[in-house]
Amino acid sequence: MERYSFSTRVLHWLMAICFTFMWACGYTMTKLVPDDSAIQEALFSIHISMGVLLLFLIVLRIALRFVTPAPAPLAALANWEKLLSHLGHLALYVLPLMVILIGWAETDFGGHGTTLFGLSMPKIFPTKEALWGYNLETTTATLHRWLAYAMLAVVAGHVAAVVKHRIEGHDVLGRMTFK
């Protein structure tokens, strides 16, 4: 069986763990804890730091993809499955970048500053309250949340496809595991 490179597999699972944490942290800090509480502030700080870490990891993953291409699609897959697989994988590169960069914009627009576990990161976006009548921090927060949900939906489809193929006897998961 043709497999993804070892480094790609490590990054895949590390990012899967980090994004699972990010979704849980994001939901918890916005829905389950009191606004402006110490725990919410701590969760925001961790969430921002993990976002910066994930930005580095996704850039590394994209660079690695150019150096170590993915295995060819399984011959047993129908053309429509190969197309959906290609589009889904493309979305799993593009959506995380968008979610992270819009989250960074939200933080910068609000004047909060982006940090990586206490280390200040460069300011990419200006501190700006509004543009054309839109509150930029609020607008980017909403966009960040909905794109994160879109990414979660793509991940759910990705996992569902793995299960479907497993039921059909195609071991696509084995291409990404360490067995």
| pTM of the shown model | 0.90
Distance CA 165, CA 74 (A): 10
DSSP-based three-state secondary structure for 129: coil
Integer Rg of the chain from CA? 18
CATH entry 1.20.950.20 includes domain 6-175: yes
Query: What is the residue extent of each domain of the chain?
Result: 6-175
CB atoms within 10 A of CB 122: 7
From 54, 94, 1, select the one nearest 86 (Cα to Cα).
94
Kindly report, residue by residue over 50-67, the tens digit of the pLDDT.
999 999 999 999 999 999
Residues in the chain: 179
Q: Find the angle CA(71)-CA(82)-CA(178) to the nearest 5 degrees.
A: 35
pLDDT averaged over every residue in the chain = 93
pLDDT band at 127 (very low <50, low <70, confident <90, very high): confident
* pLDDT at residue 141 in the model: 95
Give 117's pLDDT tier (boundaries 50, 70, 90).
Answer: very high
Segment 64-113, tens digit of pLDDT: 999 998 898 888 889 999 999 999 999 999 999 999 999 999 999 998 88
H helix or E strand, kind and range, residue 85:
helix 79-109
